[in-house]
Amino acid sequence: MGIKPLLTKDFATENLKQLAVYEKTGGYTGFKKAVEMQPDALVDLVKASGLRGRGGAGFPTGNKWSFLPKGMYPRYLVCNADESEPGCFKDRYLMENSPHQVLEGILIASYAIGCNLAFIYIRGEYLPQTEALEAAIDEARQAGYLGKNVLGKGYDIDVILHRGAGAYICGEETAMLTSLEGYRGEPRLKPPFPAVKGLYGKPTVVNNVETVCNLPHIVLNGADWFKAIGTPTGSGTRLWCMSGHVNRPGNYEMENGTPIRELIEEHGGGVWKNRKLKAFQPGGASMMVLLPEHLDVGLDFDAIAKAGSLAGAGAMVVMDETTCMVDAARRYVKFFEHESCGKCTPCREGTYWMANIFDRFEGGEAKAGDIDLLLDIGYNIDGRSFCPLGDASTWFPRSVIKFFRNEFQEHIAEKGCPFKKSVQEAVA
Amino acid sequence: MPLAKPTVTQIQELAARYPSKQSAIIPALWAVQHEQGYVTDAAMSEIAQHLGLPPSLIEATASFYSMFLTRPEGRHDVVICVNAPCMLRGADEMAAYLERQLGVRDGATTADGAITWHSTIECLGACGGAPMMQVDHRFEENLTPERIDAIIERLRTDPLPGSPHKGEGVEAPTPNKGEDVAQPKKPARPRARKN
């Protein structure tokens, strides 16, 4: 348990972005080994490794691959690099430090599922990361890892780097495919799942950046090696993006199952300014808040779910005792309001009204019934919106009302934010 | 103004690169914004022509994505994040400082046409370096008033548009000079166009 650099082990190497340097660290040996194997054996290997998708849902990667209907071609792989979840910055870190690792993972996944054209959908705001990947793709093409008959094995593969243009919803897999087809990035109904009817109506696998980065290591070291890391239902490591009120924010690659306490107190250097921990939020903007009593929960999909939140995309937002939980929830709700695609009514209207009511709390205009009104709206969005964006917009605010209802009441009683007032008084 | 030849060539290459030419819409819009600094109706019609698609389809797509600009902005863009992880580390104070130093409201362009700035609730992916902003799409992290001053100074004295998003290689677009009242960041409703 603890820090376990697997994906990030060579990140201190200078110029790791360059192909020659990446190859010196063992780069592309995983892909070379993979193309010696039968694709089906590769799928079985990843299944046996227990690798679960790192984008948020934690779905077993090998299983996802095996859902592709037999004999239907062409098939596509789309690497989800649209990282936009507030609190998350791990894919950015992986892409800018080792773009070839991302690419090698994509090549292995493509070979395993029998795909000859893969896409990387990267968010528009990640310009330096786009440039890093672009350069890596060019280098790999020149070195013969990409193109026709790669490594003389008769396998053709090309990768298109596709840049988004500022829409969080495109991180949702069906919205991503719609966007990639050139339309407004609105989600589609599932089923049919992308594995059956995805990009251009063809069988498609969507895998997150961090997920594919695990593949070269699994191929090289085997399923048993990977399974021995982490927990029985959560093999391997994850990158945790720590932010907020800690002394040392940043990305930490931790073995799954490591207690949250170790991440925050030991590696993050604890809560800043010698203050007390009030709450923290794993997973990103969508996920429910946890309390200091949850510090001994393990960094793991299942353990965090059992504690009442979700591991999501691996964020860890730390909040100290001076944090206004109402304002924190207000920011997230405004984010979802801004990012709602407008396709379905519960999400489009619900996030709008939640944001309005949160503004009333911060502006000192909230009324006694507004707390329950928020809960009512949340109840009517969750499970009733078209895609998970709407559902997720309600999880954090509702969990904050559950644990910090008194702060909402204080906002009503004091006609404004008690935390801002105390700060202003301290300054005056 | 009609699209420059290299942009047209690029759009044609893009159309051939994807299994469906419609997939080239977003990359084509990027190419146009790269050349002209923003995306006009005329440019969208031209894209439609080169892709053999109806112009309405191009605008339907363009209007969904907040990063495509529909009017000229300053030579450099500055976007400061005020979502929760940044808020926890003082983003509100930094945004207020930025506003004071630039002397124009959120969403507006400075009188000298150098800088368009706005705050955003959309996380930019640098929470570990909060408070943060993006300057011409490059990350500037761990902001302090001193760092903001240095960045503003650098941008004001840099005569070239921030590449590659502000009409690199052509004349800088005429900014909305000295605009003091910000365009609303987003129409209240309906939300046809984001940001």
**Res B195: pLDDT:** 37
Chain B residue closest in CA terms to A185: B64
pLDDT digits (tens, 9 = 90+) for A168-226: 999 999 999 999 999 999 999 999 999 999 999 999 999 999 999 999 999 999 999 99
A with B: how many residue pairs have Cβ under 8 Å apart?
Answer: 152
Helices then strands, counting H and E runs in chain B, come out as 7, 4
In this structure, which CATH number among 3.40.720.10, 3.40.50.11720, 3.20.20.370, 3.40.30.10 belongs to the domain B76-157? 3.40.30.10
In this predicted model, what pLDDT tens digit does every residue of A121-169 receive, in sequence order?
999 999 999 999 999 999 999 999 999 999 999 999 999 999 999 999 9
Does residue A290 share a domain with residue A210?
A: no
| Percent above pLDDT 70 for chain A | 98
User: How much is the ipTM here?
Assistant: 0.94
Which of A167, A193, A228 marks a domain boundary? Answer: A228
My answer on whether A206 and A242 are in the same domain is no
The per-residue pLDDT for B2 is: 92
Q: How far apart are CA B137 and CA B70, in angstroms?
A: 18
Statement: residue B186 has pLDDT above 60:
no
pLDDT of residue B163: 56
Cα gap B14→A339, rounded to integer Å: 28
- The whole domain housing A208 covers 19-228
Q: Mean pLDDT over residues B179-183, rounded?
A: 42
Q: Tokens 């919106």, residue?
A: A385
- Tell me, yes or no, if B24 comes closer than 8 A to chain A by beta carbon: yes
Same domain, A304 and A211: no
pLDDT band per the 50, 70, 90 thresholds, residue B104: very high
Kindly indicate the confidence band of residue B175, based on its pLDDT and cuts at 50, 70 and 90: very low
Give the model's pLDDT for residue A352: 98
Does A222 share its domain with A239? no
Q: Which of B121, B143, B185 to mutate to test the interface with A (most CBs of A within 10 A)?
A: B121
Instruction: Report the gap between the CA of A287 and the closest CA in chain B (Å).
Output: 13
Q: Assess whether pLDDT exceeds 80 at residue B191.
A: no
Whether residues A349 and A279 share a domain: the answer is no
Cβ–Cβ gap B66/A166 under 8 Å: yes
The chain-wide mean pLDDT, for chain A, equals 96
Q: Looking at the structure, do residues A345 and A305 belong to the same domain, yes or no?
A: no
**Given this model, what pLDDT does residue B159 score?**
86
The answer to whether residues A191 and A49 belong to one domain is: yes
- Cβ-based contacts of B138 with chain A (< 8 Å): 127-128
Question: Looking at the partner chain, which of A128, A166, A335 has a beta carbon nearest the beta carbon of B138?
Answer: A128
With CB atoms and an 8 Å threshold, state whether A166 touches B26: no
Best of A119, A120, A125 to mutate (most B CBs within 10 Å, chain B): A125
Residue A3 lies in a domain: no
Mean of all residue pLDDT scores within chain B: 87
User: At which of A228, A253, A284 does a domain end?
Assistant: A228
**pLDDT for the residue numbered B164:** 56
For the stretch A365-376, pLDDT in tens is 999 999 999 999
Give the pLDDT confidence score for residue B162 in this predicted structure. 78
Cα angle for residues A262, A306, A331 (degrees, 5° grid)? 75
* CATH code of residue A404: 1.20.1440.230
Are residues A263 and A188 part of one domain?
no
Question: Are both A284 and A305 inside the same structural domain?
Answer: yes
pLDDT of residue A115 exceeding 50: yes
Q: Is residue A12 part of a domain?
A: no
Q: What angle do CA A373, A375, A376 make, to 5 degrees?
A: 65
Specify the pLDDT at position A425: 58
State the pLDDT at residue B185: 42
- A277, A408: one domain: no
By percentage, how much of chain A surpasses pLDDT 90? 97
B21-60 tens-digit pLDDT: 999 999 999 999 999 999 999 999 999 999 999 999 999 9
A257 and A109 assigned to the same domain: no
pLDDT value at B171 more than 90: no
Residue A203 is part of a domain; what is its CATH number?
Answer: 3.40.50.11540
d(CA A313, CA A88): 7
Cross-strand pairs, A250: A242
Cα-based torsion angle of the residue sequence B63, B64, B68, B70 in order, rounded to the nearest 10 degrees: 20
Q: Does any domain span residue A266?
A: yes
pLDDT of residue B9: 96
Q: Would the pLDDT of A428 be above 90?
A: no
Q: For residue A343, is pLDDT > 80?
A: yes
> Does A249 lie in the same domain as A366?
no
The answer to whether the CB of A58 falls within 8 A of the CB of A96 is no
Counting residues of chain B whose pLDDT is more than 70, the rounded percentage is 83
Residue A9 belongs to a domain: no
Q: How sure is the predictor about A421, in pLDDT bands with cuts at 50, 70 and 90?
A: low
| pLDDT per position as a tens digit, B65-96 | 999 999 999 999 999 999 999 999 999 999 99
3-class secondary structure for chain A? Answer: CCECCCCCCCCCCCCCCCHHHHHHCCCCHHHHHHCCCCHHHHHHHHHHHCCECCCCCCCEHHHHHHCCCCCCCCCEEEEEECCCCCCCCHHHHHHHHCHHHHHHHHHHHHHHHCCCEEEEEECCCCHHHHHHHHHHHHHHHHCCCCEEEECCCCEEEEEEEEECCCCHHHHCHHHHHHHHCCCCCCCCCCCCCCCCCCHHHCCEEEEEHHHHHHHHHHHHHCHHHHHCCEECCEECEEEEEEEECECCCEEEEEECCCEHHHHHHHHCCCEHHHCCEEEEEECCCCCCCECHHHCCCECCHHHHHHCCCCCCCCEEEEEECCCCHHHHHHHHHHHHHHHCCCCCHHHHHHHHHHHHHHHHHHHCCCCCCHHHHHHHHHHHHCCCCCCHHHHHHHHHHHHHHHHHHHHHHHHHHCCCCHHHHHHHHHHC
Residue A14 within any structural domain of the chain: no
Band (pLDDT 50/70/90 cuts) for residue B160 is confident
pLDDT (0 to 100) of residue A420 = 81
Listed in sequence order, the residues at least 6 apart from A303 whose beta carbon sits closer than 8 Å to its beta carbon are: A231, A234, A257, A297
Across A295-299, average pLDDT = 97
Query: Among residues A320, A340, A356, which one ends one of the domains?
Result: A320
- pLDDT of A19 > 80? The answer is yes
| pLDDT on residue A18 | 98
Per-residue model confidence as pLDDT tens digits over B113-135: 999 999 999 999 999 999 999 99
Query: What CA–CA distance (Å, rounded) separates A253 from A85?
Result: 18
What order of strands is seen across the sheet that includes strand A76-81? A147-150, A155-163, A117-122, A76-81, A204-208
Domain B5-62: assigned CATH number: 1.10.10
Q: What six digits make up the tokens of A290?
A: 């946890």
Please give the average per-residue pLDDT across A3-13, as a whole number: 97
Domain count, chain A: 3
Domain regions of chain B by residue span: 5-62, 76-157
pLDDT of residue A275: 96
* pLDDT of B180: 43
Assess B160–A contact: CB distance below 8 Å, yes or no.
Answer: no
- Confidence check: pLDDT of B193 > 90: no
Q: Quick one: pLDDT at residue B177?
A: 42
Instruction: Please check whether residue A10 lies inside any domain of the structure.
Output: no
